[in-house]
Amino acid sequence: MDYREELARAVAGAANIPAEDILPMIEVPADTEMGDYAFPCFRLARVLKKAPATIAADIDKKLKLPAFISGKKIVGAYINFFLDQQYYIRDVLLDVKQQGGAFGGSGIGAGRVVCIDYSSVNIAKPFHIGHLSTTVIGHSLYKIYQFLGYKPIGINHLGDWGTQFGRLIAAYKMWGNKEDIEKNSISAMLELYVRFHEEAEKDKYLDELGRAWFKKIEDGDAEALEIFNWFKQLTLREVSAIYDMLGITFDSYDGESFYNDKMQPVIDELKQKNLLEFSDGAYVVRLDEYDLPPCIILKSDGATLYATRDLAAAFYRKNTYGFHKCLYVVAYQQNLHFKQLFKVVELMGHEWAKDLEHVAFGMVSLEGGTLSTRKGNVVFLQDVLDKAVEKTLLIIKEKSPGLENKEDVAKTVGVGAVVFDTLSSARIKDITFSFDRVLNFDGETGPYVQYTHARCASLLRRADFDYTAEQKDFAALDNKEAFAVAKLLYAFPDTVQKACDRNEPYMITKHVTELAKAMNRFYYEHRIISDDRQATAARLLLADCVKTVIKTGLGLIGVGAPDRM
Ligand code: ARG
């Protein structure tokens, strides 16, 4: 039930003003002591030409209170309303129980496609801690949109084009070893790459060699393509292991090279619309009017750029998927690139330019940089996840020696802790990753929320009767701790919608954290299983609903919720 709306209807009846006008005026006081809802009458003073206090008194006299309101209090020009706790708690719990895992979702996006470009790794480059945000934010958005009825399309826009691949092949031909690369894939490729750059400083001929190999890739030379595709395969094999750990899949791996034969029509359209200009040795779209540097489309030798490929990709996605929105989950370092890209589409006269959105985020760095030793100075994401799982396993062995399948749980909790932490603050903030903080079972962390979920599951297991079928005595929940829990359950669907509107998964992270805290306060103050069956049944229903919503919320940020830990 939408309580605010119902209340607006009641006030509307008494004030003789349409409910649609009243609804936006109803406030939720920051201090719950003041009431759960408040209606400020001074806003009506001008319309009704009466003093606000008089209006409040008039409305108060005629008002028929809905069943879920237990009391009201006039304070100055405000009428404050108090929810009937017991009524409200019962209503919310029965609703959550009935909807189960669907609670919080909706069909609002039905029939709409949302393309989400995320993770988008670069071939032969390490998958390092800097890729964590795009990967987990994008994955979470995928889940959130899906939960609201949209059809998300997850796109891994591979960085698989550019002159660096010519240099890499050249390096491989000179110094490479097939077995070594097969075995150590990305780090072996990285070694070759680094060596190439070092030697190229001394020997200019190497650059020429690199260019020649890239030309071969462009011309479709069989050997060049074979090596290049092999590098690509090995890279994808390595990153897939990480995606598996995170439970992530993609609908498309169409990356930069996919657009090789799809740029010409876009370039033709730019020419035809007189947007392309030759300037400083390149074909560009001028954007001075918008305070942006020119967007370079073609170099003088006809070579295309990152932006050219992204332009072709935007058109391809629009034509292929007919998207309602196309999101780019990419670090804020690329702000300028996306501003230019979107502007160019707009200047081409396509109204859907407004549906392209850069979902930017800040940097991730590692506290102390302790993981940087093994392979030079990059921090591999795989190492971070492995270490998190390893540390979690130690904690589990110490705290729950009797737990079955410790390894599986350690994986869910360890990986979950890293993901949860990454989605704990607004996207745009830079974050410093710290294992101690991430794995803390008492702080506002993934393990803490997962632990609360497992605690609820354990309570439900311990009940020796079918509490779902039992009569429930909701008076047992008539206390401020249960009320706080019910309010957070009730607000969950709204949070999911807001997280979607703003593309901010952290709002869900925060919500489940608050819910876990409220549940633990309740657990601390009230005994759950007692001799009173009907009271126990009501309290177990509360635990059941909390368990459901935590599980759903964690699922939406891509974190698992084990029943035991
Ligand atoms: N591969 C790029 C990078 O690592 C990110 C690509 C993002 N997506 C895009 N359509 N430009 O910086």
pLDDT of amino acid 397: 96
Atom of ligand 1 nearest to the CA of 330: 7
Question: Which tokens hold the place of 272?
Answer: 């035809």
Substitution site in 121, 132, 157 for ligand 1 pocket (most atoms within 8 Å of beta carbon): 157
Residue 329 φ/ψ, nearest 5 degrees: -90, 90
pLDDT of amino acid 178: 95
Least confident of 15-19, 225-229, 236-240, 435-439: 435-439
Mean pLDDT of 24-44: 91
What residue type is 316 in one-letter code? Y
Question: Which tokens hold the place of 429?
Answer: 């903030």
Tell me how far apart the alpha carbons of residues 97 and 208 are, in angstroms, rounded to a whole number.
68
pLDDT of amino acid 301: 84
* pLDDT band, residue 442 (cuts 50/70/90): confident
3-state secondary structure string, 348-365? CCCHHHHHEEEEEECCEE
Reading across the β-sheet that carries 69-75, which strands appear in turn?
A: 37-40, 78-83, 69-75
Q: What is the DSSP letter of 293?
A: P
| Residue 539 buriedness (CB in 10 A; 0-12 / 13-18 / 19+) | buried
Mean pLDDT of 442-451: 93
**pLDDT per residue as tens digits for the range 93-124:** 999 999 999 999 999 999 999 999 999 999 99
pLDDT of amino acid 372: 45
Mean pLDDT of 162-185: 94
**pLDDT per residue as tens digits for the range 387-401:** 999 999 999 999 999
pLDDT of amino acid 46: 85
Cα end-to-end span (Å), the chain: 35
Tell me how far apart the alpha carbons of residues 422 and 235 are, in angstroms, rounded to a whole number.
24
Q: How far is the CA of 112 from the centre of ligand 1 (A)?
A: 24
pLDDT of amino acid 369: 60
C-alpha distance from residue 381 to each of 88, 126, 245, 328, 359 (Å): 45, 9, 11, 21, 21
Residues within a 6 A CB radius of ligand 1: 117, 120, 122, 157, 159, 310, 313, 328, 330
The answer regarding whether domain 113-255+303-366 maps to CATH 3.40.50.620 reads yes
- Percent of the chain whose pLDDT exceeds 90: 85
Least confident of 256-270, 429-443, 470-484: 429-443
Reading across the β-sheet that carries 276-279, which strands appear in turn?
A: 276-279, 282-285, 295-299
Residue 555 pLDDT greater than 70, yes or no: yes
Tell me how far apart the alpha carbons of residues 459 and 72 are, in angstroms, rounded to a whole number.
37
Residue 370 pLDDT greater than 60, yes or no: no
If you average pLDDT over every residue of the chain, what do you get?
94
* pLDDT band, residue 140 (cuts 50/70/90): very high
Substitution site in 120, 134, 381 for ligand 1 pocket (most atoms within 8 Å of beta carbon): 120
* pLDDT band, residue 436 (cuts 50/70/90): confident
Residue 30 pLDDT greater than 70, yes or no: yes
Q: How far is the CA of 159 from the centre of ligand 1 (A)?
A: 7
pLDDT of amino acid 373: 41
Structural domain boundaries of the chain? 3-83, 113-255+303-366, 264-302
* pLDDT band, residue 86 (cuts 50/70/90): very high
Q: What is the DSSP letter of 256?
A: G
pLDDT of amino acid 374: 45
| Residue 504 buriedness (CB in 10 A; 0-12 / 13-18 / 19+) | buried
Substitution site in 123, 263, 330, 336 for ligand 1 pocket (most atoms within 8 Å of beta carbon): 330
Q: How far is the CA of 499 from the centre of ligand 1 (A)?
A: 23
Contacting residues for 501 by C-beta, under 8 A, at least 6 apart: none
Mean pLDDT of 525-539: 96
Mean pLDDT of 312-328: 98
pLDDT of amino acid 367: 76
> What is the residue with the minimal CA distance to atom 5 of ligand 1?
120
Instruction: Find how far residue 527's CA is from the centre of its chain.
Output: 36
Q: How far is the CA of 552 from the centre of ligand 1 (A)?
A: 30
Residue 546 pLDDT greater than 70, yes or no: yes
Class of domain 3-83: alpha beta
Atom of ligand 1 nearest to the CA of 338: 11
- Percent of the chain whose pLDDT exceeds 70: 98
pLDDT of amino acid 296: 96
Question: What count of other Cβ atoms lies within 10 Å of the Cβ of residue 42?
Answer: 15
